[in-house]
Structure 1
């Protein structure tokens, strides 16, 4: 079993070495002169004409709605609503929305922790008054039985 495993390891090592050498020869073959195509064309190819107008990569802009304007203000991208330009990039809007999402998430975490602490204090107060769910349910059921007995007696 050990001999078979060592043979597999040696074979894998040899295969990796062969693969490395083969990939280096393929890279060198790709870098050779590609102007020779079956020996027919020796004239250099003409490069395509450059466009007359230079192409500028422009970011698409978006006219923000009122809510998006408030989002930009709340996220801290702008100080006043007058500072917000007519059009803003989608990346800026996404960044503002993400900041607002994070702030809302933090607010929800704080409110959840505050609610838990409040419930602990309310539970301790109820324990001091000797109130429990069991005693409240027993009282409610006793009250319902009394009402049912009164209705039964009135109807007879």
Structure 2
């Protein structure tokens, strides 16, 4: 039996264009794996940028917002909930939830508790040293 050359990237793109379920599953995988559309890793980019002290200070400032947004997005994806469905479970408006996920809002402690309750989870706040935080970023 002769070998057949296959263009896997082309096949994936065709599947993404033609099959909405495949596109959704593929895009979720890409996000989960931290793979950009061009195939380079966001983690590699982050490690490179993290060497700049100004960038690192900005990353510290955004860490909690990013973690909150990521937790909400991950939970929504895991439970396959729309923003509207998730907002209802969290007892807040869809607009408010979007602002939190876009990191354009400083949610109150009570709002975070509502979100945790909507996810059937408990809110946990943690303080970590910059050294510990840096280590986690570099190990991504």
Ranked by relative contact order (alpha carbons within 8 Å, sequence separation 6 or more), the top structure is: 2
Q: Which has the larger radius of gyration?
A: 1
With the length of structure 1 as denominator, give the TM-score of the two structures: 0.16
With the length of structure 2 as denominator, give the TM-score of the two structures: 0.17
